[in-house]
Chain A
Amino acid sequence: MPERQAAGSAVPHPPRLAHHLGVRGWAYAGRYPVERYLFLLHRISGVALILYLPVHIWFTAQRLAGPAAWDATMRVFDRPVFVIGEFLILAAFVFHALNGIRLVLAHFGVSIGRPIVASYPYPVALHRGRVVMWTLMVLAAGLIGISAVEIILAMLGHG
């Protein structure tokens, strides 16, 4: 007898099986493939971006208070800790966007192929999407690298 049942559904919902590792299960994924860890990074980068958004909305409103208020706000963001923080936000966006493209493509079956009758040795849909996945991840690494070079040059006074 199931402990509880999904509302409006005749299908029993096994709560312990669906979420038996709890929040711990987000980080520890056992011997799952690399895509499982991209899921974890997607989640971390997404949370970082949505937590940063209210701060961004607030400080960009400072421009309405005039050039002095704006420049004072920007001076705060020129401190190394904020420069690194902003770089991490940029990196989070680049990764989240490119991994998101992979997820949307997979959602519509573009990169993983059509469903086929399973016969041994069983094909793994993730393997068919590996080329797309690695292409997007290399592109993400390249874009993050270019931004890192820009920041280093700016800190050295060449930007």
Chain B
Amino acid sequence: MTERGWWFLSLVAGVALVALLGAHMAVQHYGAALRALGWIQGPPARSFAAVTARGRILGWAVLYGLLLLFALYHGLYGLRGILLEVWPRAARVITAVLVIAGIAMAVFGTTTIMRAIGGS
């Protein structure tokens, strides 16, 4: 894929993140407002019961999986752009390090999500 393609993919990921991360942030940071509106119920969003319950629901697991992958891609692609401005001659090293870090975090995060679905 060309640089233009990677850039466009970052735009797509960014737009998706507005919705996905918006949903995550709404549950985590606007709990009192959403409860007052009657939109959410149950234990506090950060309690172990609520976290494990969400983790076992397939829809939430898919949302977290997509969120993880889009956030890693969009964030690391943006970071790469900044680093290349400062060290343009180290482009290959910077890209390689960020790709490896991204894959490592994606594997670790996805494993957590998958294990949470199984209830372990």
Q: Mark A52-64, 1 if CB is under 8 A from B, else 0.
A: 0110011011011
Please state if B18 and A100 are interface contacts (CB–CB under 8 Å): yes
Contacts of A154 in B (CB 8 A): 32
The verdict on A50 contacting chain B, using a C-beta distance below 8 Å, is yes
The verdict on B82 contacting chain A, using a C-beta distance below 8 Å, is yes
Please state if B75 and A53 are interface contacts (CB–CB under 8 Å): yes
Q: Can you pick out 15 interface pairs between chain A and chain B where the beta carbons lie within 8 Å of each other?
A: A19-B85, A49-B71, A50-B78, A63-B48, A63-B52, A64-B112, A70-B48, A70-B51, A86-B29, A97-B22, A100-B14, A100-B15, A101-B18, A150-B29, A150-B33
A61 with B112, Cβ < 8 A, contacts A90-B25, A97-B22, A100-B14 known? yes
The verdict on A5 contacting chain B, using a C-beta distance below 8 Å, is no
Residue of A nearest to B120 (CB): A64
Contacts of A150 in B (CB 8 A): 29-33
Please state if A50 and B76 are interface contacts (CB–CB under 8 Å): yes
The one of B30, B71, B112, B120 that contacts A53, using a Cβ cutoff of 8 Å? B71
Residue of B nearest to A143 (CB): B30
Please state if A57 and B112 are interface contacts (CB–CB under 8 Å): yes
Q: Mark B19-32, 1 if CB is under 8 A from A, else 0.
A: 00110010001111
The verdict on B63 contacting chain A, using a C-beta distance below 8 Å, is no
Contacts of A86 in B (CB 8 A): 29
The verdict on B105 contacting chain A, using a C-beta distance below 8 Å, is yes
| Chain B residue total in the interface (Cβ 8 A) | 35
| Chain A residue total in the interface (Cβ 8 A) | 35
The verdict on A67 contacting chain B, using a C-beta distance below 8 Å, is yes
Contacts of A50 in B (CB 8 A): 75-76, 78-79
Give residues of chain B (8-56) contacting chain A, Cβ–Cβ below 8 Å. Answer: 11, 14-15, 17-18, 21-22, 25, 29-33, 46, 48, 51-52, 55
Contacts of A93 in B (CB 8 A): 21, 25
The verdict on A153 contacting chain B, using a C-beta distance below 8 Å, is yes
Please state if B51 and A63 are interface contacts (CB–CB under 8 Å): yes
Give residues of chain A (57-88) contacting chain B, Cβ–Cβ below 8 Å. Answer: 57-58, 60-61, 63-64, 67, 70-71, 74, 86
Q: Mark A95-112, 1 if CB is under 8 A from B, else 0.
A: 001001100100100000
The verdict on A23 contacting chain B, using a C-beta distance below 8 Å, is yes
A147 with B30, Cβ < 8 A, contacts A53-B105, A101-B18 known? yes
In the assembly, what is the distance between CA of A49 and CA of B25, in Å?
Answer: 13
In the assembly, what is the distance between CA of A53 and CA of B29, in Å?
Answer: 17
Please state if A23 and B32 are interface contacts (CB–CB under 8 Å): no
Please state if B29 and A49 are interface contacts (CB–CB under 8 Å): no
Task: Give chain B nearest CB distance to A8 CB in angstroms.
Answer: 11
